[in-house]
Amino acid sequence: MPAAKKLPFLQLLPAFWGPYQQLARYLRPYKTRFALGLFFGVLAGLVNGIIPVVLYIVAGKGLPKIPSTGNFKLMEHLPDTSGISLEAKIGILMLIPAVVVARGIFSYLNSYCLAWVSFRVLRDIRTHLFSHLMSQSMAFFTQAKSGKLISRVMNDARMAQTALTSIAGDVVKAPVSVVVNIIGLVIIDWRFSLTTLVLFPICFFPVIFFGKKVRQAGKNEENEAGQMAVILQETFAGIRVVKSFAQEQHQVAQFDQSSLIQCRNSMKVRKSMEMVGPMIESVSALGVVLALVYVYYFHVDLVKFGALCFGLFMLYDPVKSLSRIPMQMQKCMASATNIFDLMKLQPAIQDAPDAVAITSCRGHIVFDHVNFSYSHDKPAVGNIILDIEPGKQYALVGASGAGKTTILALIQRFYDPQSGAITLDGRDIRTITQHSLRQHIGIVNQDTFLFHDSIYENIRYGRLDATKAEIEAAAKLAYAHDFILAQPDGYDTVVGDKGCLLSGGQQQRLAIARALLKNAPVLLLDEATSALDSESEKMIQAALERLAHGRTVIAIAHRLSTILKSDKIVVMDHGSIVETGTHRELLENSTLYRKLYQMQFHHHEEGETPVPA
């Protein structure tokens, strides 16, 4: 395509077209309303364009003759109207409010329909983007900054929608208006119109030039908005750390810096957008000079001159809107590109096309020569061979960084091993749908996460269709019922952001109640390393025991009691399993276990005796 090489804008076309096509896909469900909006736009443009001609006719037919003065040969071209009755004249005069009202109605309907469509498109894009983000695997979320993702869903989608609305609003109305208006001007006096509009095409240059600038600046603007969201999100999420280290001013300074960059970016966008209007006005001013020169030489009558000037004046607004379209398009494109780049990402973990949704499981988990590394340089776990029998309790022990949490992540299929396989009841977990797999796994994490909602809703999260009685039963089993009733609003007490209105031990018991409610056959426990007071320690221990009953349990153990109760202990070191056996066997045979036992568990011994159930 040698022609395309010569014309750089042709090469740019796919870059424009791609995001637009994708946006257009979102318009499809609302195409009738959208077409209706465009249709009203055409009508509004038509009516707007014919106003000068209407004025010319009305002035000619509805007004008494005005005596001629100076250079203007007034009314000489207009037909004699003395024969027309007063009623008819009033009727003709009423044409002016009639067209203005019609224009108003059509403009309103045009804006209404397009706004209706664009807000629905915004909703669809946001929901689609959010659900696409939800489908991403854990690897994505450990890399991504959540503030940036929030900004993409909120700001970019909004920006694309705003730009889309204004483009759609103007894209037919303005050109129709301009064309009809110019035709009207030509009909009234073609020589005058040609003289004044000869400079018109010059307007395109600033539009193209500044349009490019808007795109780049718009992209920077959106990126910095993302950065601001990151600072906000991290500051609020980590407010305890911020306050403890007295770093409020540091956070404010960071935010202020980002805000300043944002201010400059927005200014760049604004400068480019606002530059175009005055440039067009300057060109128009030259047009006025030409118009006056024309009037001077060709003696135009006053009514015609008035109508022509009015027509030119009416041209200003749609031309200005028209000139904004390329900028709006550039802005829309910058945001749409950001959104669709995210939508293009394929989740690293996907269900196989023929994956089965399991409805029950015994909880027999086998690691068959599993090797896994987060990044390609260093394996996190290597050559894991482990047979976890159903209904038994396993304890994972090992130094920090030994790969214990990684084992739990692999069982939940947050990541796929690079080699080897993990099976559940003899079935490779890669052939099970992620949803059904995780439905059969209950987990109590090292750090509990509670939503800013009531205690009731937080427990219900384990199984959304649970009844009130089931939720209370779960709370009772988790030794949480009593402290819940002691809260100001009982089960309706709101726990605050991430559960901060409750103590650490209380939060953990809610998390256990949630896992109990889920009633899954496989239970993964990442025991908290943080020392709790012995009372809540005992309660949690007892709650966990109830939770473990009759299930396959894999617990990352930091408490002696967990270890003592386990059927088998798996000792990990540097990503490998070095030993398995019972507490007694390992104490006798394993030096590493003896060392771990001395360091981690032995000194806890006293406070660890569980409360009787």
Ligand X SMILES: Nc1ncnc2c1ncn2[C@@H]1O[C@H](COP(=O)(O)OP(=O)(O)OP(=O)(O)O)[C@@H](O)[C@H]1O
Binding site for ligand X (CB under 6 A): 142, 374-375, 380, 398, 400-406
Tokens of 235: 């500051």
Which has the closest alpha carbon to 192: 317, 299, 313?
299
Alpha carbon 226 to its chain centroid, in Å, reads: 11
Complex with ligand X: residue 164 or 596, whichever CB lies closer: 596
In the block, residue with structure tokens 């077409």: 35
Spatial separation of the C-alpha atoms in residues 45 and 392, rounded to whole Å: 76
CB of 405 to Mg ion, least distance (A): 3
| Residue 433 lies near Mg ion (rule: CB under 5 A) | no
Q: Which does 400 bind (CB under 5 to 8 A by kind): ligand X, Mg ion, none?
A: ligand X
CB 527 within 8 A of CB 504: no
Q: Which does 229 bind (CB under 5 to 8 A by kind): ligand X, Mg ion, none?
A: none
Q: Which does 568 bind (CB under 5 to 8 A by kind): ligand X, Mg ion, none?
A: none
Q: To the nearest 10°, the Cα dihedral for 208, 210, 216, 222?
A: -120
Complex with Mg ion: residue 126 or 413, whichever CB lies closer: 413
Beta strands 522-526; 441-444: pairing state: parallel
Which has the closest alpha carbon to 515: 463, 452, 451, 550?
463
Alpha carbon 576 to its chain centroid, in Å, reads: 40
CB of 429 to ligand X, least distance (A): 18
CB of 403 to ligand X, least distance (A): 4
Spatial separation of the C-alpha atoms in residues 358 and 342, rounded to whole Å: 31
Q: Which H or E element spans position 585?
A: helix 583-589
CB of 376 to ligand X, least distance (A): 11
Helices and strands, counts by H and E, the chain = 22, 10
Complex with ligand X: residue 305 or 593, whichever CB lies closer: 593
Q: Which does 233 bind (CB under 5 to 8 A by kind): Mg ion, ligand X, none?
A: none
Residue number of the CB atom closest to Mg ion: 405
How does DSSP assign 480-506, residue by residue? -HHHHHTSTTGGG-B--GGGTTS-HHH
CB of 8 to ligand X, least distance (A): 43
Q: Kindly indicate which of the ranges 315-323, 397-405, 424-432, 479-487 contains the residues binding Mg ion, using the contact rule CB under 5 A.
A: 397-405
Q: Kindly indicate which of the ranges 2-10, 94-102, 296-304, 405-413 contains the residues binding Mg ion, using the contact rule CB under 5 A.
A: 405-413
Counting residues that bind Mg ion (by CB under 5 A) gives 1
CB of 449 to ligand X, least distance (A): 16
Spatial separation of the C-alpha atoms in residues 192 and 182, rounded to whole Å: 11
Complex with Mg ion: residue 273 or 525, whichever CB lies closer: 525
Complex with ligand X: residue 156 or 527, whichever CB lies closer: 527
CB of 380 to ligand X, least distance (A): 4
Complex with ligand X: residue 105 or 237, whichever CB lies closer: 237
CB of 250 to ligand X, least distance (A): 27
Q: Which does 406 bind (CB under 5 to 8 A by kind): Mg ion, ligand X, none?
A: ligand X
Beta strands 576-581; 568-573: pairing state: antiparallel
Q: Kindly indicate which of the ranges 223-231, 273-281, 399-407, 517-525 contains the residues binding Mg ion, using the contact rule CB under 5 A.
A: 399-407
CB 391 within 8 A of CB 568: no
In the block, residue with structure tokens 């009733």: 485
Complex with ligand X: residue 234 or 425, whichever CB lies closer: 234
Complex with ligand X: residue 404 or 583, whichever CB lies closer: 404
Spatial separation of the C-alpha atoms in residues 5 and 18, rounded to whole Å: 19
Eight-state DSSP code of residue 195: H
Q: Kindly indicate which of the ranges 39-47, 87-95, 118-126, 402-410 contains the residues binding Mg ion, using the contact rule CB under 5 A.
A: 402-410
Tokens of 558: 């930091």
Q: Which does 142 bind (CB under 5 to 8 A by kind): Mg ion, ligand X, none?
A: ligand X
Q: Which does 45 bind (CB under 5 to 8 A by kind): Mg ion, ligand X, none?
A: none
CB of 404 to Mg ion, least distance (A): 5
Cβ-Cβ contacts under 8 Å for 123 (sequence gap 6 or more): none
Amino acid at 478: A
Q: Which does 169 bind (CB under 5 to 8 A by kind): Mg ion, ligand X, none?
A: none
Spatial separation of the C-alpha atoms in residues 55 and 62, rounded to whole Å: 10
Q: Which does 19 bind (CB under 5 to 8 A by kind): Mg ion, ligand X, none?
A: none
Q: Which does 403 bind (CB under 5 to 8 A by kind): Mg ion, ligand X, none?
A: ligand X
Eight-state DSSP code of residue 568: E
Spatial separation of the C-alpha atoms in residues 218 and 124, rounded to whole Å: 23
Complex with ligand X: residue 407 or 542, whichever CB lies closer: 407
Q: Which does 374 bind (CB under 5 to 8 A by kind): ligand X, Mg ion, none?
A: ligand X
CB of 596 to ligand X, least distance (A): 11
Complex with Mg ion: residue 398 or 462, whichever CB lies closer: 398
Complex with Mg ion: residue 247 or 412, whichever CB lies closer: 412
Whole-angstrom CA distances from 500 to 235, 275, 448, 479 are 16, 51, 11, 19
CB of 495 to Mg ion, least distance (A): 25
Eight-state DSSP code of residue 478: T
Complex with ligand X: residue 58 or 556, whichever CB lies closer: 556
**Residue from 162, 405, 436, 580 binding Mg ion (CB under 5 A):** 405
Spatial separation of the C-alpha atoms in residues 233 and 150, rounded to whole Å: 9
**Which residues lie across from 368 on neighbouring strands?**
421
How does DSSP assign 264-331, residue by residue? HHHHHHHHHHHHHHHHHHHHHHHHHHHHHHHHHHH---HHHHHHHHHHHHHHHHHHHHHHHHHHHHHH
Q: Which does 114 bind (CB under 5 to 8 A by kind): Mg ion, ligand X, none?
A: none
Eight-state DSSP code of residue 83: T
CB of 601 to ligand X, least distance (A): 14
Complex with ligand X: residue 173 or 559, whichever CB lies closer: 559
CB 110 within 8 A of CB 40: yes
CB of 477 to ligand X, least distance (A): 27
CB of 158 to ligand X, least distance (A): 32
CB 496 within 8 A of CB 452: yes
Complex with ligand X: residue 113 or 569, whichever CB lies closer: 569
Give me the residues that bind Mg ion (CB under 5 A), please. Answer: 405
